[in-house]
Amino acid sequence: MTPDGVPPTATAGLLVTGFPEVGPLAKLAYRELNLAGHGSEQQARALGDPARLPRPWDPATCHEADLRAEVWAWLDAVVEWLNREYVWDAAAVIPPCWPAHPHLVHEIAVVADQRRRAGAAFSSDLLEDWHRYTLPGFIDRMRDRLRGHCDEGHQPWPAKGRHARHTDPQARKERAETFAREADRADADTSPRGGRRLSVVDLETGEIREEHADW
């Protein structure tokens, strides 16, 4: 127990606490991404298609179950850390139901990754940018989207009905027909109209060898 009778915690007596570290699988994912971008040609080839590498800042790319679970645990720790270290006004608190909000999941993952990168930098420039732009921008967007809906507990998605209408089979069919008609018009607009002439150029000498009529 602490002198004031409060059970000891990891933050007892500390003015600030460190940013949560990623787990071993996420560290491996970051290492592979670094090798893909900055490693040797042989290392890059060994990793395969770089587009298929998991990116912790985009959880949807983390298909392996253990890695995905580790990313969720890391993001949950980051949210607790942000609420403790950076929030004073209650309106800026990230709600405990954040996993039920895809827009928050996407943004929190990026906020966490940006903070991780800033903390690993060799100067304070990235951290200043994170303080000045990344975190305030995220909090403003969160407030704008949530609008107090989950202040007293998670609320159902207010836009669910409109999304259902958007994904209704009839609505999808009508959009597909509209796209097809527009594509047909665009194709017709690209037909020859006259006045354009193309020439054959010798790529070695630059000489214009002959002119052709419109294509």
One-letter identity of residue 171:
A
Torsion of Cα atoms, 102 then 104 then 109 then 112, to 10°: -170
Q: Would you say residue 2 has pLDDT above 60? A: no
b/e per residue 18-49 (b: at least 16 CB within 10 A): ebbebbebbeebbebbebbeebeeeeeeeeee
Task: For residue 43, give Cα distances in angstroms to 29, 36, 39, 55, 56.
Answer: 14, 7, 6, 18, 20
Decide if 91 contacts 143 (C-beta within 8 A).
Answer: yes
Separation of alpha carbons 99 and 93, rounded Å: 14
Q: Which residues contact 138 (CB under 8 A, 6 or more apart)?
A: 107, 108, 111
One-letter identity of residue 84:
R
Q: What pLDDT was estimated at residue 148?
A: 86
Question: For the segment 75-126, what is each residue's pLDDT rounded down to a tens digit?
Answer: 999 999 999 999 999 999 999 999 999 999 999 999 999 999 999 999 999 9
Q: Which residues contact 197 (CB under 8 A, 6 or more apart)?
A: 211, 212, 213, 214
Question: For the segment 22-73, what is each residue's pLDDT rounded down to a tens digit?
Answer: 999 999 999 999 999 999 999 989 999 999 999 999 999 999 999 999 999 9
Token pair of 179 as six digits: 């796209």
Q: What pLDDT was estimated at residue 201?
A: 65
Confidence band, pLDDT 50/70/90 cuts, at residue 133: very high
Q: What pLDDT was estimated at residue 22?
A: 97
Percentage of the chain lying above the pLDDT 70 cut:
82
Confidence band, pLDDT 50/70/90 cuts, at residue 143: very high
Q: What pLDDT was estimated at residue 6?
A: 44
Confidence band, pLDDT 50/70/90 cuts, at residue 204: low
Token pair of 209 as six digits: 């060898």
Q: What is the chain's percent helix, strand, coil content, to nearest 5?
A: 60, 5, 40
- Average pLDDT (4-11) is 48
- Average pLDDT (6-20) is 74
Q: Would you say residue 196 has pLDDT above 80? A: no
